[in-house]
Amino acid sequence: MDSIFGREFRDELDVIVAKTLISVAAKATAAYFVNRRAREHSEDLGMLMRLVTALAQMAVNIADTRCWTTLPKEFQVARVPTPPNRQIKIQAPGHPPITINLLDGTINVVYVKSVAQDLPLRIHQFVLR
Protein backbone atom coordinates (compact mmCIF):
# COMPACT_ATOMS: atom_id res chain seq x y z
CA MET A 1 0.00 0.00 0.00
CA ASP A 2 2.87 2.39 0.69
CA SER A 3 3.86 2.47 -3.00
CA ILE A 4 0.28 3.21 -4.09
CA PHE A 5 -0.11 6.01 -1.56
CA GLY A 6 3.34 7.36 -2.47
CA ARG A 7 2.48 7.46 -6.17
CA GLU A 8 -0.86 9.12 -5.42
CA PHE A 9 0.89 11.73 -3.29
CA ARG A 10 3.50 12.44 -5.99
CA ASP A 11 0.73 12.85 -8.56
CA GLU A 12 -1.00 15.44 -6.36
CA LEU A 13 2.13 17.17 -5.05
CA ASP A 14 2.13 20.06 -7.56
CA VAL A 15 -1.48 20.92 -6.74
CA ILE A 16 -0.82 20.66 -2.99
CA VAL A 17 2.21 22.97 -3.23
CA ALA A 18 0.32 25.50 -5.39
CA LYS A 19 -2.65 25.60 -2.98
CA THR A 20 -0.31 25.97 -0.01
CA LEU A 21 1.63 28.83 -1.63
CA ILE A 22 -1.57 30.67 -2.56
CA SER A 23 -2.92 30.22 0.97
CA VAL A 24 0.29 31.43 2.61
CA ALA A 25 0.53 34.42 0.25
CA ALA A 26 -3.08 35.42 0.92
CA LYS A 27 -2.62 35.18 4.70
CA ALA A 28 0.67 37.09 4.58
CA THR A 29 -0.90 39.84 2.45
CA ALA A 30 -3.85 40.15 4.83
CA ALA A 31 -1.48 40.27 7.82
CA TYR A 32 0.62 42.96 6.12
CA PHE A 33 -2.37 45.25 5.55
CA VAL A 34 -3.76 44.66 9.05
CA ASN A 35 -0.35 45.43 10.57
CA ARG A 36 0.16 48.53 8.40
CA ARG A 37 -3.26 49.89 9.29
CA ALA A 38 -2.67 49.24 13.01
CA ARG A 39 0.79 50.88 12.86
CA GLU A 40 -0.76 53.97 11.23
CA HIS A 41 -3.11 54.21 14.19
CA SER A 42 -0.37 53.82 16.83
CA GLU A 43 3.04 52.20 17.16
CA ASP A 44 1.95 50.16 20.19
CA LEU A 45 -1.12 48.85 18.39
CA GLY A 46 1.05 48.04 15.38
CA MET A 47 3.44 46.02 17.55
CA LEU A 48 0.55 44.18 19.21
CA MET A 49 -1.06 43.37 15.86
CA ARG A 50 2.25 42.08 14.44
CA LEU A 51 2.44 39.68 17.38
CA VAL A 52 -1.22 38.63 16.99
CA THR A 53 -0.96 38.06 13.22
CA ALA A 54 2.31 36.11 13.62
CA LEU A 55 0.71 33.85 16.25
CA ALA A 56 -2.38 33.41 14.09
CA GLN A 57 -0.28 32.41 11.07
CA MET A 58 1.66 29.91 13.19
CA ALA A 59 -1.60 28.44 14.48
CA VAL A 60 -3.23 27.95 11.07
CA ASN A 61 -0.19 26.87 9.04
CA ILE A 62 0.06 23.37 10.49
CA ALA A 63 0.31 20.39 8.13
CA ASP A 64 -2.82 18.25 8.03
CA THR A 65 -1.54 14.69 8.26
CA ARG A 66 -4.85 13.05 9.18
CA CYS A 67 -5.37 11.37 5.83
CA TRP A 68 -1.91 9.75 5.97
CA THR A 69 -2.02 8.57 9.57
CA THR A 70 -5.43 6.93 9.28
CA LEU A 71 -4.67 4.85 6.19
CA PRO A 72 -4.13 1.13 6.70
CA LYS A 73 -0.62 -0.21 6.38
CA GLU A 74 -1.96 -3.38 4.82
CA PHE A 75 -5.24 -5.01 3.87
CA GLN A 76 -6.07 -8.49 2.70
CA VAL A 77 -9.04 -10.01 0.91
CA ALA A 78 -10.10 -13.66 0.79
CA ARG A 79 -13.04 -15.28 -0.95
CA VAL A 80 -14.20 -18.57 0.51
CA PRO A 81 -17.35 -20.66 0.02
CA THR A 82 -19.83 -20.55 2.87
CA PRO A 83 -19.38 -23.69 4.98
CA PRO A 84 -22.48 -25.84 5.63
CA ASN A 85 -22.38 -25.00 9.37
CA ARG A 86 -22.21 -21.23 8.50
CA GLN A 87 -19.15 -20.77 10.71
CA ILE A 88 -15.70 -19.53 9.78
CA LYS A 89 -12.62 -19.40 11.94
CA ILE A 90 -10.28 -16.41 11.72
CA GLN A 91 -6.85 -16.18 13.25
CA ALA A 92 -4.74 -13.06 12.91
CA PRO A 93 -1.09 -12.89 14.02
CA GLY A 94 -0.87 -12.24 17.74
CA HIS A 95 -4.57 -13.02 18.32
CA PRO A 96 -6.34 -16.21 19.39
CA PRO A 97 -8.59 -17.93 16.82
CA ILE A 98 -12.13 -16.56 16.60
CA THR A 99 -15.17 -18.45 15.33
CA ILE A 100 -17.69 -16.29 13.50
CA ASN A 101 -21.29 -17.39 12.98
CA LEU A 102 -22.30 -16.07 9.57
CA LEU A 103 -25.57 -14.25 9.06
CA ASP A 104 -28.29 -15.84 6.91
CA GLY A 105 -27.61 -15.10 3.26
CA THR A 106 -25.90 -16.46 0.18
CA ILE A 107 -23.14 -13.84 -0.02
CA ASN A 108 -21.65 -12.73 3.29
CA VAL A 109 -19.01 -10.07 3.80
CA VAL A 110 -16.94 -10.30 6.96
CA TYR A 111 -14.73 -7.32 7.73
CA VAL A 112 -11.97 -7.82 10.30
CA LYS A 113 -9.95 -4.85 11.51
CA SER A 114 -6.84 -4.93 13.65
CA VAL A 115 -5.93 -1.56 15.11
CA ALA A 116 -2.99 -2.90 17.13
CA GLN A 117 -1.72 -6.36 18.03
CA ASP A 118 -2.43 -5.83 21.72
CA LEU A 119 -6.07 -4.82 21.09
CA PRO A 120 -8.93 -7.19 20.21
CA LEU A 121 -9.97 -7.61 16.59
CA ARG A 122 -12.99 -5.63 15.40
CA ILE A 123 -15.29 -7.87 13.40
CA HIS A 124 -18.26 -6.68 11.35
CA GLN A 125 -20.37 -8.54 8.84
CA PHE A 126 -23.20 -7.91 6.45
CA VAL A 127 -25.12 -9.78 3.77
CA LEU A 128 -25.04 -8.82 0.09
CA ARG A 129 -27.67 -11.38 -0.94
d(Cα 1, Cα 8) in Å, to the nearest integer?
11
* Residues of the chain above pLDDT 70, percent: 89
Nearest alpha-carbon partner for 86 in 125, 28, 35 = 125
CA 46 to chain centre: 39
pLDDT digits (tens, 9 = 90+) for 91-120: 888 888 999 999 998 888 998 888 777 788
The DSSP secondary-structure symbol of 7 reads H
pLDDT confidence band for 89 (50 / 70 / 90): very high
Query: Per residue in 68-85, pLDDT tens?
Result: 666 666 777 888 888 999
Q: Calculate the average pLDDT of the chain.
A: 84
Given a cut of 80, whether residue 2 has pLDDT beyond it is: no
